[in-house]
Amino acid sequence: MPDLERRFRIRGNDFVSAGEVSLEIQSILKQIGFHSALVRRISVCAYESEMNVVMHGGDGEALLKVSPESIILIFSDQGPGIPDIELAFKPGYSTANLAHREMGFGAGMGLPNIQKSADTLEVQTEKGQGTILTIGFELGGRSSG
């Protein structure tokens, strides 16, 4: 039973609210009193995942689970799925459209940054079935900074 569990809705293509969920997650973790370096790593993962749902995934949600052992973020969406996961994780690879690029997105660095910042990462996706990203951070160990 996790100490804390919070669920957030994310709306596809809503660039006005985009980023609010990751800010909320950041503020919850700060308030609990987690180390700032850890909160920063988690915020990077939350922000990149949230933006990917907004830009590529369509409607979705985020789930934050905090337990004494770990912090888990689960981002899920009902979008088109990722046809080639290996390609999607290649730095610089992006299918962002012109409108996204004009807003400053589309560097193709979101997934590589999530991979670098997380302790564990699992991607479940299927064409036409959406995407689930499970991002883990271990607490208490050396990596909790």
Give 113: exposed, middle or buried? Use CB within 10 Å, 0-12, 13-18, 19+. Answer: middle
- CA-CA distance, 55 to 57, in Å (whole number)? 6
Say if CB 73 and CB 135 are below 8 A apart.
yes
Q: Is 79 in the site for Mg ion (CB under 5 A)?
A: no
Please report how close the Cβ of residue 77 comes to ligand ATP at its closest, in angstroms.
5
What, of ligand ATP, Mg ion, none, does residue 43 touch, CB below 5 to 8 Å by kind? none
> For residues 140 and 119, is the Cβ–Cβ distance under 8 A?
no
Contacts (CB under 5 A) with Mg ion, residues 85-124: 110
3-state secondary structure of 102: helix
Least separation in angstroms between residue 138's CB and Mg ion is 24
Q: Contact residues for ligand ATP (CB under 6 A)? A: 48, 52-53, 55-57, 77, 79-80, 82, 88, 93-96, 105-112, 131
To ligand ATP, the closest distance from the beta carbon of 94 in angstroms equals 3
Which residues make up the interface to Mg ion (CB under 5 A)?
52, 110
